[in-house]
Amino acid sequence: MAQSGAQGSTGGMDIQDQKETFHGFLVGSLWIGGHIAQAVSLLTLAFAIGAGWWPGFIVFVVIGIAIGLAFKMGGAYWAAQVVEWVLLGLGGLIVPALAGAMG
């Protein structure tokens, strides 16, 4: 039941907290959706299609850059992307070297 004093008054509520919560939700959704798209494209090109690791890695990087620039993502996003690029790049170099050394 509405309070009697609330009738007829508009614009009296501060919604800054709700705006920040919604913004955080949208940014989190972009991070998760972007990483899913990156992972699916990398794994599809590398293993399902058989195009190889490096074409999948390039698409992974391009998708990360596109999302970051299109949505003006913050520094934490770019730091996470760079760490992923370095780790996946090193993995792309180390795993074949180890496989060649063992076989």
* pLDDT for residue 48 is more than 80: yes
Q: Domains of the chain: which residue ranges?
A: 28-96
CB neighbours of residue 45 within 10 Å = 20
The rounded distance, in Å, linking the Cα atoms of 39 and 11 is 44
Single pTM value for the model? 0.80
- Per-residue pLDDT tens digits for 10-24: 667 889 999 999 999
* pLDDT for residue 6 is more than 60: no
Query: Using 50, 70 and 90 to split pLDDT, how confident is the model at 96?
Result: confident
The rounded distance, in Å, linking the Cα atoms of 87 and 91 is 6
- Specify the higher pLDDT residue, 73 or 2: 73
